[in-house]
Amino acid sequence: MGITMFVSLYTTRLLLNSLGVSDFGIFNVVGGAIAMLGFLNAAMAGATQRFMSIAEGEGKPEKKRSIFNTSVILHLAIAIILGLMLLEAGYFFFNGILNIPADRVYAAKVVYGSMIISTMFTVMTVPYDAVLNARENMLYYAIVGIIESFLKLAVAFIVVYVLQDKLIVYGVLMAVISLLVMVVMRVYCHRRYEECTIAPKRYWDSGLMKEMTGFAGWNLLNSATGMISQYGLGVVLNSFFGTILNAAQGIANQISGQLMVFSSNMIKAVTPVIAKSEGAGERHNMLNFSLLASKYSFILLAFFAIPFILETPYILKIWLKNVPEWAVLFVRLQLIRSLVEQLTFMVGRTVEVQGDIRAYSLVRSLFNILPIILTYLFFSFGFPPYYLYIIWIVIGGGLGGAVRVFFAKIKCGLRYTDFVKKVLSPCLLISISMLIIGALPVYWLSDSLLRLLSVGIMTSISFVIIMYVIMSHEERAWSVNLIGSLKTKILKR
């Protein structure tokens, strides 16, 4: 993931300079849904993974085959419905909603068509992604993630030198990469895992189909409204301010996504453990794992995000030759939003794992859609573009997080005091400490590499000290064992 992060950041620099700010903005507003496929895919895979991991915890291999086959049929139907919906939505996007220069409409339509094809195949691959997660196969994600990042870098170089329309070439090649990754995943799973046997007649279970359809339906509602919110806010921004601000938003999303890779992959590793604990009837362990994951996913993101927030102008100036207007503020606000949401993200997983998610999904969906409505109203009254993020932080991060904690209490027995003591307090302590200590070089030194290094060193020192203070005795023992294990592996090599 470290390799992927640096390659992806360099790829964005190449693309922004090659496509230009306007075309880069067009891709982010029209093809931005391609970037959201990872979110939708992960959210939908969570439904199947929940059943897979619980069956793993129960020790029922035959049930896993039934779950896999049921999931294949379910996601084939979802892919067809979603493809038709996106096709229909395209008519409205290109007839009055999107603010795109007339000479770039055709290129934007080609990018959108590539997105639809890629979306359908991605949805059909969800059962395989769920199997890999339930099996806790992190090695696959590491290898494929590196290969995918270098393929994207190759596409960026192609776009730099190609003579044809660069936006069209980029959109089509990005869809091709998605298809290649999905083909590799399917082949790998069928050869490696015995539950990946497609035989619907043999493993058909109508009761399981009903249960999975109900769960997947409510989970999809929550996921789809989240995706619509992410993409819809970009459309609202485009309709009021044009493609230039979409470029700034795209850069903010890119940086946030790359800085979150370590915390996101920790979440990917912990999620099946939480589900297996529920399957084995160990709810107390499930809650402890979720709180631990909430704390450390936030801390991992804060370690990278807080120095970046302090030095955003200088980093963007080094990274990008042409920094779009509003990009600095958008990046800072997007990182704050990600930090706020990270506090309660894994708490929400406990609600999903226990199975009864109807009320939770309805309320979460409301909070997903509300930012679009409020943002449109605020922009209509002449508020500046950054209010998009302020609304998002307050509604999606603050109130949405409170909803997660509330439902975790009534559905899983989570105590508010445990959340405050084990997650909120230590996370606030480490964030405030890093901000205060890291701000000292910013106050005393002018923009320079020396100041950037000073901020990195000062925040790292404060991070280590506070981490030692907030860690429990058991967590310190785990850390010592982990460092010892890593040393042993390195010395052996």
Would you give per-residue pLDDT tens digits along the chain (493 residues)? 667 666 766 766 676 666 666 666 666 666 555 555 555 555 566 667 777 777 766 666 777 788 888 888 878 887 888 788 878 877 777 776 666 777 777 877 887 888 788 778 777 877 887 787 777 777 777 787 788 878 888 887 887 777 777 778 877 887 788 788 888 888 888 888 877 777 777 777 777 777 777 777 777 777 777 777 777 777 788 878 777 777 777 778 777 777 777 777 777 777 777 777 776 777 788 888 888 888 888 888 888 888 888 888 888 888 776 777 788 888 899 899 889 988 888 888 888 777 777 888 888 888 888 888 888 898 888 888 888 888 888 988 888 889 899 998 888 888 889 899 888 888 898 888 888 888 888 888 887 888 888 888 888 888 888 777 777 777 777 767 766 766 666 566 5
Cα separation values, 87 from 81, 90, 91, 113, 116, Å: 10, 5, 7, 8, 7
C-alpha torsion 255→233→298→331, nearest 10: 30
Q: 338, 378, 353: which is closest to 280 by C-alpha?
A: 353
Q: How far apart (Å, rounded) are the C-alpha atoms in residues 75 and 41?
A: 11
In this structure, what token pair is assigned to residue 358?
């109807």
Residue 368, Ramachandran bin (φ over 0: left; ψ between -120 and 50: alpha; else beta):
alpha
CA 360, distance to chain mean position in Å, is: 20
Q: 169, 159 in Cβ contact below 8 A?
A: yes
Sequence-separated (6 or more) residues with CB below 8 Å from residue 196: 68, 128, 131, 189, 190
Rounded to an integer, what distance in angstroms lies between the CA atom of residue 259 and that of residue 1? 10
Question: What's the Cα-to-Cα distance from 68 to each of 48, 52, 247, rounded to whole Å?
Answer: 8, 8, 40
Among candidates 114, 333, 330, which has minimal Cα distance to 241?
330
pTM: 0.70
Residue type, 284: H
